[in-house]
Amino acid sequence: MGTQTLEASFERITVNDDYDDLYNPSAYHKSKGSLSTAMTLTGLATSTSAGNRMKLPLQKLQSTTTTTSTITKVHLPSQVAQHNRDQSSSAASRPSDDPSALTHVRSSIPQQPSSPKLFHLGMFEIGKPLGKGKFGRVYLAKHRSSGFICALKVLHKSELQMGKVEKQVRREIEIQSNLAHPNILRLYGHFHDAKRIFLILEFAGKGELYKHLRKEVRFPEWKAAQYIAQMAAALKYLHKKHVMHRDIKPENILVGIHGEIKISDFGWSVHAPNNRRKTMCGTLDYLPPEMIKPTGNDSFYSEKVDLWSLGVLTYEFLCGEAPFEDEPLKTQKRIVRCEMTVPGYVSAEAKDLIKKLLVVDPEKRISLEDVERHPWIIKHCVKGERATNRSAELAKMMRKSGDK
């Protein structure tokens, strides 16, 4: 079987969400998502990015017998999933394709009843550690029977309970497993045993975008524009599904083997209709004004929060630091007033896009459609092009022609 077929056969597996059984409902803690928690999480993500400091409990992991692993029901491929797979595998080679057709097909064909299939730890060969988050340890893994390479995220139930993030993880699983877009990290399935939850994730071969940015200090405009175009495509897809991410920042973006970006970390994401909440989340630097401002009654915000973050991201890609970076109190003040200056070395087009995204009034921010049509994006992105260095390619071509 070719790799393509293996990947395809793996992709069409849909997992029954039996996460409800994981905890005694009375043990649920209401996750408040306080700002301090968000900041701790960020701090951790940042420090993790500095390097892989994992001491691997590999033996322990592998010694778990399959009999003690709890199993999760998996539906065999339905017509819908089949279609899905075809769509997503072809879309994978065209990053900026709009997979909205997929959503339509999904909802119009009823799911077929199918025989259950099981996932458990024994089905995976565990490889090198890829990283460590506050709650999760992530390993490279191979699905033994298909050879499919993935990332296995291991979460300890006791740690989730102590951190009062069960609800957040549950939401992350529910939301992410329903998303299929080339610029969003896939969650293929999950299973659990007595102590741990395992998330079967798409493997992002080039790791964290945050690390790339720190190494390069600033991205050249062509690269930043291509990343932002991919972000816009992914956000358009999310918003169409009424999901807002709410925690867009370089630490939550991974890079695929072809240099394409993959949004991950849906721990703070929510379904948009449920948007009357005071929850403060995200790092301070990326928080939009409407999530900081005390508006008298309930803080009300929409998926437009992600547009603000996209503006902050554009700025950080081009300048190497977030636009409102300061002491926490000053950052808040500067955000609500949108006090920032774009350095002179940034092109006029890029500056224009930043200014159209970083608008205090959420309703007046540029739409994702207009981001995709913006002159700065058009200038640097041929539709469907990945973040490849065109000038480097050009130089290579020129060398080649020079050899002749």
Question: Which one-letter amino acid corresponds to residue 145?
Answer: S
Nearest to 5 by CA among 132, 174, 145, 126: 145
Selected catalytic residue, list 247, 285, 361, 370: 247
Number of H helices, E strands in the chain: 16, 12
254 binds ligand ATP (CB under 6 A): yes
Q: Which residues pair with 75 in a beta bridge?
A: 14, 116
Q: Which is nearer to ligand ATP, 41 or 263 (CB)?
A: 41
- Dist. CA 200–CA 15, nearest whole Å: 10
In eight-state DSSP terms, residue 277 is: -
Please pick, from the candidates 6, 64, 82, 207, the single residue that binds ligand ATP as defined by CB under 6 A.
207
Task: Give Cβ neighbours of residue 181 (< 8 Å, ≥ 6 apart).
Answer: 88, 91, 99, 233, 234, 237, 238
Please pick, from the candidates 208, 247, 260, 303, the single residue that binds ligand ATP as defined by CB under 6 A.
208
Q: Given the rule CB under 6 A, which of 126-134, 160-168, 269-277, 325-333 is the region that contacts ligand ATP?
A: 126-134
Is 369 marked as binding a ligand? no
Q: Which is nearer to Mg ion, 133 or 207 (CB)?
A: 133
Question: What is the contact mask toward ligand ATP in residues 61 to 100, using x (rule: CB under 6 A)?
Answer: ----------------------------------------
Is 370 a known active-site residue?
no
Q: Given the rule CB under 5 A, which of 21-29, 257-265, 285-293, 315-323 is the region that contacts Mg ion?
A: 257-265
- Dist. CA 289–CA 286, nearest whole Å: 10
Q: Which is nearer to Mg ion, 44 or 71 (CB)?
A: 44
185 binds ligand ATP (CB under 6 A): yes
Is 240 marked as binding a ligand? no
Q: Which is nearer to ligand ATP, 13 or 138 (CB)?
A: 138
Q: 15: part of which helix (H) or strand (E)?
A: strand 14-15
138 binds ligand ATP (CB under 6 A): yes
* Whole-number Cα distances in Å, 281 to 175, 232, 255: 17, 21, 24
* Binding site, annotated residues for ATP: 134, 153, 202-204, 251-252, 265
Q: Catalytic residue numbers?
A: 247
